[in-house]
Amino acid sequence: MKFTVATYGTEGDTRPLAALCRALIDAGHEAQLLADRSTLHAAAALGVPCAPLAGDIKRALDPGEALGAIVGKRSGAQATAKALAAIANAHTHDWMVQIKAAAEDSDALIVSALASFVGLSVAEHLRIPAIGASMIPITPTREFATPFLPPGLVPGFLNRASHRFVNDMIWRAFRQATNAARVEVCGLAPRKRNWTDHPILYGVSRALLPRPADWSEYARVCGQWTMPASAGRLSGFGSGAGAGAGSGADWTPPESLAAFLDAGEPPIYVGFGSMAGFDREPMVRALVEAVGGRRALFYPGWSGVEASALPSNFCVIGDTPHAWLFPRVAVAIHHGGAGTTHSATRARVPSVVVPFAGDQFFWAQRLYRLGAAAAPVDGKSVDAKALARAIDFALRPATRARAAELGAAMQEEEGLREAVAAIERWTEEGRELRGVGICPVNAGA
């Protein structure tokens, strides 16, 4: 079978889907990935056919730009939805053209992140199954509130309604541009309501997010999407969000990193992946004070932090596979992106989470409730003393033991194998439905 996979977002959005494409190819299928140009190096390293979608996500994260403003300020779900929509709406027509051309002879279209509404429309036009893929739980459930609202804000009896409210709010922000492209590119009628009936796969761990009992069989928690050890030779990419997509088994570190790791006890890792737009100087001051004289690794990512601002006990590193690096550190300080959260925990390492926006607060709260991290430290106003307390909590034997327990459970999961099996089954179901005249994009739960 042939699959087209379309996503748009940061590296944390693209990397897991590059791993999924590789798994589909290894299972004997064809797969191609469409995503932002700056995030496609993971796909190229894995030998996955890929092509860029219009836009520049790194620029959108600059201070003052759509996403940069969200990272740098206290913003609610509505402001976040508007910022995301501003990026997507500017490119919706071009994405519709690009995804439609790429998916013409595909058996199914796998859609994710900001490209989801465009991908769902193209699948409807081509009359092929649409399968969602996400690292964020967006299927309504009574068990927890939407990840896009602050933890603790929603009373438990409104959990399910909160998902619907936020999902519909996001759809309203995207609707006008999506409908215009539906008409112009695909000849489809404008759509009034959000999609709620296509199957969706979650590349997240059941150890961190057990599958809600009220989800249908068409919403599946697979486990983190990571490459098997046999793909280690291809995994010398990335230390940003989701870099755990490679095993790192055969990756060789630079001499400076190897020497630093060999020179003393396991260091503290600090990295905020694709996050940018925050006030760098106060952040660096707080980190330096909280870390004190401990050995630390710092990954600048997209933050723009200069290495010269850090003292000598910090070793600045470049792109490094999380799967190789994290087992060699004592604590991981990160932003709470789904990919980094999973990769740190999978490596049995406790976290200090400094969330900035979106679902990062959700994952920070998950680790806190599971005992693998202290309460999150607000990324928009980092307090050095709170950060130091969180580091001390992470270094406690009980915290390290809990992280090890969760990591052991995660390592038993086979996220890609489960995802591929579901995609194959749902695509075959879509073929059967198409044969009796039912549009497969509307055949889900």
Q: What CATH number does the domain containing 51 carry?
A: 3.40.50.2000
Confidence of residue 310 (pLDDT cuts 50, 70, 90): confident
| Higher pLDDT among residues 131 and 249, named by residue | 131
Question: Does 301 reside within a domain?
Answer: yes
Instruction: Clarify whether residues 160 and 259 are in a common domain.
Output: no
User: Does residue 175 have a pLDDT over 60?
Assistant: yes
The per-residue pLDDT for 227 is 64
% of the chain with per-residue pLDDT over 70: 86
230 lies in a domain? no
Mean pLDDT of the chain: 88
Confidence of residue 274 (pLDDT cuts 50, 70, 90): low
Q: Are 89 and 214 part of one and the same domain?
A: yes
Tell me the pLDDT band of 381, cut-offs 50, 70 and 90: confident
More confident residue, 314 or 83: 314
Per-residue pLDDT band for 140 (boundaries 50, 70, 90) equals very high
In this model, does residue 441 exceed pLDDT 50? yes
Statement to judge: residues 103 and 143 lie in one domain:
yes
Mean pLDDT to the nearest integer, 301-312: 75
Q: State whether 111 and 170 are in the same domain.
A: yes
Residue 168: inside a domain: yes
pLDDT band at residue 150, thresholds of 50, 70 and 90?
A: confident
One-letter-per-residue 3-state SS of the chain: CEEEEECCCCHHHHHHHHHHHHHHHHCCCEEEEEEEHHHCHHHHHCCCCEEEECCCHHHHCCCCCHHHHHHHCCCCHHHHHHHHHHHHHHHHHHHHHHHHHHCCCCCEEEECHHHHHHHHHHHHHHCCCEEEEECCCCCCCCCCCCCCCCCCCCCHHHHHHHHHHHHHHHHHHHHHHHHHHHHHHHCCCCCCCCCCCCCEEECCCCCCCCCCCCCCCCEEECCCCCCCHHHHHHCCCCCCCCHHHCCCCCCCCCHHHHHHHHCCCCCEEEECCCCCCCCHHHHHHHHHHHHCCCCEEEECCCCCCCHHHCCCCEEECCCCCHHHHHHHCCEEEECCCHHHHHHHHHCCCCEEECCCCCCHHHHHHHHHHHCCECCCCCCCCCCHHHHHHHHHHHCCHHHHHHHHHHHHHHHCCCHHHHHHHHHHHHHHHHHHHHHCCCCHHHCCC
Give 315-338 pLDDT, tens digit per residue. 999 888 899 999 999 999 999 999
Overall number of domains in the chain: 2
- Of the pLDDT bands very low, low, confident and very high (cuts 50, 70, 90), residue 308 is confident
38 occurs within a structural domain? yes
| Least confident residue range of 133-147, 236-250, 265-279, 305-319 | 236-250
Whether residue 242 is contained in a domain is answered as: yes
What's the pLDDT band for 181 if we cut at 50, 70, 90? very high
What is the structure's pLDDT at 445?
A: 33
Q: Is the pLDDT of residue 237 over 50?
A: no
Per-residue model confidence (pLDDT) at position 226: 85
Q: Are residues 406 and 428 in the same domain?
A: no
Q: Are residues 108 and 70 part of one domain? A: yes
Residue 349 has pLDDT above 90, yes or no: yes
What is the pLDDT averaged over residues 143-166?
94
Task: Find the mean pLDDT for residues 221-250.
Answer: 55
In a domain, 200, yes or no: yes
> pLDDT at position 377, please?
93
Q: Is the model more confident about 272 or about 138? A: 138
Based on the domain organization, do 278 and 256 belong to the same domain?
A: yes
> Does residue 231 belong to any structural domain of this protein?
no
Confidence of residue 80 (pLDDT cuts 50, 70, 90): confident
Local confidence band at 236 (pLDDT 50, 70, 90 cut-offs): very low
Predicted TM-score (pTM) of the model is 0.90
Q: What residues make up the domain containing 361?
A: 236-411
255 plus 206 within the same structural domain: no
| pLDDT above 60 for 405 | yes
Average of per-residue pLDDT across 216-243: 63
Q: What is the pLDDT of residues 81-91, one digit of tens each?
A: 888 889 999 99
The pLDDT confidence band at residue 139, using thresholds 50, 70 and 90, is very high
Are residues 377 and 435 both part of a single domain?
A: no
| 327 and 311 belong to one structural domain | yes
Residue 122 lies in a domain: yes
- Average pLDDT estimate for 386-409: 97
Q: 72 or 390, which is more confident?
A: 390
159 and 271 inside one domain:
no
Residue 242 pLDDT exceeds 70: no
- Return the pLDDT at 59: 82
User: Are residue 340 and residue 205 in the same domain, yes or no?
Assistant: no
